[in-house]
Homo-oligomer: A and B are copies of this chain.
Amino acid sequence: VAAEPASAPLMRKRPSSIDVARRAEVSQATVSYVLSGRTDKSISKETKERVFQAAEDLGYVPNRLADGILRGKTQTVGVLMPDFAHSFNSQVLQGIEEAAADDGYRLLIAHNRNHPEYELHQVKMLQEHRVDGLIAVTDERTIDSLQDWVIPLSDSGVPVVIVDDLKLDGRLDTVVSDDVSGARAAVEHLIAMGHKRIAYLGGGSRASTSRDRRQGYEEALAAHGLVHHPEWVVGTSYRRNEDPDLSPLMTLAKRPTAVFCASDGLASQAMMVLAKRGFRIPGDLAFVGYGDLEWARYMNLTSVDQHPTSMGRVAAHRLVQRILGESGPPVTEKMEPSLVVRGSSVAA
């Protein structure tokens, strides 16, 4: 057997632990002991040195696939999302990454392309890569088919956490934001600012979301003895690229003095429309949005922050607990949003 040159210049095979062993003149087992830093297998200082040196010289990078195949654990979690570009989702992802990384987990991501079949395909991929668990951020289009695969997956021993939906609440670990409470806080703020005629501009993305925010609105009015005028509730269906039609609101004899909007997008569109017609904000009409997207600050829009990054962190943490073997009934983490007051609801 010819001796290999210490450092051949051109691309060779990646060094394996066997190569390290040969170079350090120890057994493969010893390399494993040293490199995984086991304290039970007392290894002499010089041997350790030699192994580290050999690994360094060779540029050895351990292969986690082998480890994964052996231990049946990959330190990897799957994240399934309808979209990475939208602000809420990307912030959730950010939170998941932070918490997962803290616990030593990597993220393998997948997209559902708004299509149940494709989603199923992606989940299969994640399973083939042997993710230790899965976080699914739900989506209007695929939410109905979700339970078809998610329950079996969970039963098969892969922990699953659902973010932002309650359909599987009680059957699976879930992280949601309390929309009722957030909406209530928003409207109570307007009431505290002296408003008595408060409109609701609705029509968010997800049905349950929209329903809950409206419920919070109504609860707040009721709690403060304010009459609920059905004509102050507008736009149950709203399309992204269309300005919301506020005329039913603005032509009333007794015009509202404040508007609570189910989303920041809706709020800003409405504000632009009204500003164009000469309405002063908040003087003539106060506004509160929902979601507290990045630009709410730029627009000086009072809004409800759902803390999506925290939601992600909590989801990752729950998942890791399950991966680590925590048992017990499904947990629903209902997270409290908070109101961020800015100029659109408070006169300067």
List residues of A whose CB falls within 8 A of some B CB.
11, 14, 59, 61-66, 68-69, 72, 74, 76, 83-87, 89-91, 93-94, 97-98, 101, 106-111, 124-125, 127-130, 156-157, 265, 268-269, 272, 275, 293-295, 298-300, 309
Contact = CB atoms under 8 A, between A and B. Distances in A.
A311 to B, nearest CB: 12
A265 B94 CA distance: 21
A106 B108 contact: yes
B76 A108 contact: yes
B268 A298 contact: yes
Given A84-B90, A90-B90, A107-B109, 8 more contacts: A62-B128, A65-B130, A84-B84, A84-B97, A87-B294, A265-B295, A269-B298, A299-B299
A316 to B, nearest CB: 13
A64 to B, nearest CB: 5
Contact of A63 (B69, B90, B157, B299): B69
B69 A98 contact: no
Contacts of A89: 90
B128 A61 contact: yes
A342 to B, nearest CB: 11
B63 A128 contact: yes
A101 B295 CA distance: 31
A94 B300 CA distance: 29
* Pairs A-B, 8 closest by C-beta atoms: A90-B90, A295-B295, A268-B298, A85-B94, A84-B94, A64-B128, A65-B65, A65-B69
Contacts of A107: 108-109
Nearest to A59: B156
Nearest to A88: B85
B298 A265 contact: yes
Nearest to A11: B157
Given A129-B106, A268-B299, A65 B74 contact: yes
B76 A85 contact: no
A93 B97 contact: no
Contacts of A268: 295, 298-299
A215 B234 CA distance: 48
Contacts of A59: 156
